[in-house]
Each structure stands twice: as structure tokens, then as C-alpha cells.
Structure 1
């Protein structure tokens, strides 16, 4: 173990092969395993477990009883080397679980910067989470899910494996999502989640002006309310994309998906 001025509680168990940065704090009865790297000024609460291979960046705050870097919950996992990579300035609250990747799923679970994971949230194997996301209590990702930047998952949301959630999307409380959610879209609970317009309030808070928001609304109507075929909707999006970078991003998301869009 290498540590520069690290504040490690005497009851913590830190493997000698772990590498801790400057001013890392480790709480009582926390376990940190071999092949774990923790960046400068990261704080880890009591009764946590962090298993490697795991790389955690700077200035994260991991609260008590979180379980980070555990083996993937996948019957095909056979002990191969797989990783978890977490960026900087994330807040990970009590009883959060984040698993490493799988050998046939890319081998890495990856989390970006400045995210909030509230109590009892779960990030499964091979997921990719962007930056500035909020996962409210008990929100859950199955394996291989991709989440873009500035996404909000409300409490008790469940995302089906291999789904993608586009940037600036908002998933309402208790929604179960079994298809791709395009960027900017708001989803509400209705048995399974259903699209319910765009995330206007979230876009406003992030500085989107009226022109940008109007273009996104037109794109939403073309995609979900035009009444034509899927290809007809895409043709309308292509026309709208000529004048809007946001619509171009939405179109790229729609055209690159392997799963059906949520409807």
C-alpha cells in the first residue's frame, strides 16, 4: 500500500497491494483489496468493501456500506480479469453496489465524473455511465446499459439490459425501461415506462434557450407523434437536423441503436 498522508482508521483492512493517493480517508471496518487504486482526496466511509481490479479517481465521496468492484452477477463469469473504472468527484451513498465487467461484455464497467448515486442504487456489469448524472434511491441498471451525460433516474427506476439512455433524458419514478430512450426525452411510469414529451425543465436549468428547446420539441413530435412509419419519422428528423446540432445528436442516437426505441 502506498499512501501520502492517508487517514486510515485502525480497524480498516487495506491490502498491501492497494494504492492510495494523497489525503485519502478510509473509515472504520472498511475493506480495500489488492489491485485497487484510489485517487487523491477521496473519502471512503465505514463498512465499505472495494474489490479490484478497480480504479477510482480523485475527490470521490463513498459513504458507508457501499460495495464497489464486486464480481459481476453473471453466470458466465469464470474469474477472468475484469475491471471497474470510476472517474472524479462522484458521490456514492449508502449501500450502493457497482460491479466489474465481464470477459465477453468488454471487460470494464465505467463511470464518469460528477455523478450522484443515492442509497441502494445498483450499476451492473459492463455498464457505461457518463458525467453529471443523478441516480435516485433504488435506481437499478442491468448489465450492458449505457447512460449519457446529465441523465436523471428517479427513485425505483429499472433499466433493462443492453438499453441506452440518451443525454439529458429524465426517467420518472418507478418506470421500468425496456427500450432505448433518445436524448432529451422524459419517461413516465405506466406499467412499463412510456415517453411523455421532452425534459424541458432539465434543459432550461442547463442553459438551453428557447430556440434549441423548440427544435428538440419538433424532433420529438416527428419521432413519436407523426403517425407514420419509423422510416418516415427518421426522414423528418434528417430534415430537422439540418438546422439543429441537438437534433443531429438525437438522430445519430436513433440510427445507431441495436434495440428498439422505447414507445
Structure 2
């Protein structure tokens, strides 16, 4: 596409019906799929892989060099899934030698001034609100929502269908289906509103609530709680997802609320 007021490197691979507004810069080793819109004053650097029907608003910087002193210039990527919306002044770093890529899934919304650092993995249908900052190697699973002005520590994992309150400091892993709030970040119940919106049945929501009663409300340590859940509750996808998440947590999970 001829864009006289935008710079597009001749080696960039741009689908024919991509719209690139004036004053944007597209570097080499960039691939942009069909139907995507690039607003004015966007910078897309080497290693960007952008899917179909993505919208990138003015001022965003995609696939920038990682802010990691160990980065040695290795060839890595930053990948954005189809139908994702990247709002104004979002910064997205590409990967390092650890995972070689930073990934944002399909149908996500990254609001203004969000920063996604190197080697992060954000799943599908996630919403990350204004000015939230994700440090390196963070994992955010499908359907998670992170409230505005939150800061997520490196290597933290946020489970599927989680709701993190705005302004949170996320230092520990947040298990799936939960709400997280307060300081220090603590269990605040399950995300029942989000689960109902995604057509979880009342029976399934009650099952998830019972699992977290054992983990957070009975005064048990995590090992004992997980053993009881595995022994007394029927296997299900949700039960096993929670058990696996907690057992494989490297940083440990957030605590229950204490008065």
C-alpha cells in the first residue's frame, strides 16, 4: 500500500488491505496480516508479527528492544493475535533468549499506556486496563481482566477468568476463577459475575466456590487443602485446572484475606 507520509521498510510484509495512517514507521522483519489498521505515529519495530483485523492506536510502540540488560540482540518476536485492540501509547517489547517471543492472544484489549515486557504471554480475550505494567516473563491466561494502574511482578502467573482490582501490586500468582484485591493482594472470592457472563452454570460456580473454601476459608495449608479437594471432590476440568495451577506455582499463590 502506498503511504507517502508513513515509512515502510521495503522488506516488511504487509497484506494488501492493511491501512497505515500518516507518520507511522514500519521497520524490517515485520509481518502484518489483512484487515489491520495502524493509526498515526505508531512505531512497529523488528520482529513484530501482527494478525488479522488488529487495531493499533496512535503512539503505540510494538516489538521494541527488551528492557533487559541480558538481551544480546538475538532475533526474537512480538506476536499479536487476530482482532486485538492496542490503544494509545501501549509499549510491547519483543522476547529474549528465554522464550524468544512475547505473545498477545486473540480478541484482547490493551488500554492506553499499558506496558507488556519481554517474554510475557497474554492469552485470548484478556483485558488489561490503563497504565497497567507487566514485568518480564509474566503469564496471563485466557479471559483474565487486570484493573487499571496495576503492577505485576516478573514471573507472576495470573490464571484464567481472574479479575484483579485496579491499583493492585501483584507479587504472587493469582489462581484461576478468583477475584484479587486489597494490599497485600488477597483472595476476595471467586469471579462469579465474569463466570456467569461466560455461561458457567450455577452448579459449576458452586463447585469452584467449594474448592476455594477449602483453600482459603478453612484455615488449612495449601498441601492439606489440595489433598482434601482431590480426595473429596469429583474430577472436573475446573477442579484439575485449579489443582495443577497451585501445585506448579513457582512464586506461590496469593494469601487469603486477614482482618
Smaller-chain TM-score range?
over 0.9
Instruction: For residue 244 of structure 1, report the CA deviation from its aligned partner.
Output: 3.0
Q: Determine whether 1:13 maps to 2:22.
A: no
Decide whether the 8 Å contact of 1:35 with 1:53 is kept in 2: yes
Residues 110-137 of structure 1: per-residue CA shift (max 9 Å, x gap): 1110000000011100000000000110
In structure 2, stretches of 5+ residues that fail to align are none
Decide whether the 8 Å contact of 1:242 with 1:248 is kept in 2: no
> Paired residue for 2:103, among 105, 110, 118?
110
The 1:249–1:113 alpha-carbon spacing in structure 2 relative to 1, beyond 3 Å, is: same
Q: Distance in 2 between matches of 1:239 and 1:179?
A: 26
Q: Distance in 1 between matches of 2:232 and 2:60?
A: 45
Residues 76-100 of structure 1: per-residue CA shift (max 9 Å, x gap): 1121111111110000000001000
Q: Distance in 2 between matches of 1:89 and 1:95?
A: 18
The 1:241–1:123 alpha-carbon spacing in structure 2 relative to 1, beyond 3 Å, is: farther
The 1:197–1:19 alpha-carbon spacing in structure 2 relative to 1, beyond 3 Å, is: same
Aligned residues between the structures: 255
Q: Distance in 2 between matches of 1:53 and 1:122?
A: 17
> Paired residue for 2:26, among 29, 32, 50?
32
Decide whether the 8 Å contact of 1:215 with 1:244 is kept in 2: no
User: Match of 2:139?
Assistant: 146
Residues 11-51 of structure 1: per-residue CA shift (max 9 Å, x gap): 10000010001310111110000000000010000000001
> Paired residue for 1:213, among 189, 205, 220?
205
User: Match of 1:231?
Assistant: 223
1:58-137, aligned counterparts within 5 Å? 58-103=52-97, 105-137=98-130
Q: Distance in 1 between matches of 2:105 and 2:123?
A: 5
Instruction: For residue 54 of structure 1, report the CA deviation from its aligned partner.
Output: 1.5
Decide whether the 8 Å contact of 2:43 with 2:59 is kept in 1: yes
Q: Distance in 2 between matches of 1:224 and 1:182?
A: 11
Q: Determine whether 1:176 maps to 2:197.
A: no
Question: After the TM superposition, which parts of structure 1 deviate over 3 Å for at least 4 consecutive aligned residues?
Answer: none
Q: Distance in 2 between matches of 1:239 and 1:120?
A: 46
Q: Distance in 1 between matches of 2:91 and 2:108?
A: 14
Decide whether the 8 Å contact of 1:241 with 1:251 is kept in 2: no
SS at match of 1:227: coil
Return the TM-score normalized by structure 1: 0.94
Decide whether the 8 Å contact of 2:215 with 2:221 is kept in 1: no
RMSD, aligned CA: 1.1
Q: Distance in 1 between matches of 2:222 and 2:14?
A: 51
User: Match of 1:222?
Assistant: 214
SS at match of 2:242: helix
User: Match of 1:200?
Assistant: 192
User: Match of 1:259?
Assistant: 251
Return the TM-score normalized by structure 2: 0.96
